[in-house]
Each structure stands twice: as C-alpha cells, then as structure tokens.
Amino acid sequence: MDSSSLPAWATITYPLIFPVGDLTTLTFSEPNGEALEAIDELGIEEGKTPSVRQTMGLISALSGVPVETIRKFNQRDIKGAANALVPLVTGEPETSASP
C-alpha cells in the first residue's frame, strides 16, 4: 500500500506567545500508545481540572517537548497550549490553534 494513500495523523500547531529559546511553536500529534501510557500515568481524573504538573505532562506527551522545557513557559502559553490540545484527547482533531 502506498503511504500517500494512508490517512495522516491529526496534528495541531500552537504558536507560543513567549518563545523559549529557539522554540516558537508546539506541534501536538494524536497520541500513540506511548503517549497514551504517559497520559494515563499522570492520574488525570475525568471531570476534574488537571493540576499544573498534569497539564505540563500532557503538553509534553503530545508534543514531545520535555517537561523541563515546558516548565519555562509563561502561564499564558501553558494555558493556551493545554486548550489547543484538547481536540486530540477528546477525539475531535483540528489542525491549528491560536493563542
């Protein structure tokens, strides 16, 4: 089967308001098994607001950016990135987001 005929994984790009070093955007991808395990290990409870630690872990799991880097983000970027990735974890992927 030709790979061009396969469906593409959904991604969402979030442009950082306050870049960290050379990092100016985050690209979130639909979770694979590894990301799903990492998300499960965060202990996020349905219906409850995730903690900051859980939110940063979720951003890391879907973007591949280490938590150590995400800890340097401005709070507006943490909130914006968390809101941007929601469609990927709820099964309603979009393609881009804005701060």
Tens-digit pLDDT profile for the chain (99 aa)?
A: 566 778 888 999 999 999 999 999 999 999 999 999 999 999 999 899 999 999 999 999 999 999 999 999 999 999 999 999 999 988 765 555 555
Tokens 């979030």 correspond to what residue?
14
pTM for the complete prediction?
A: 0.86
Tokens 């280490």 correspond to what residue?
66
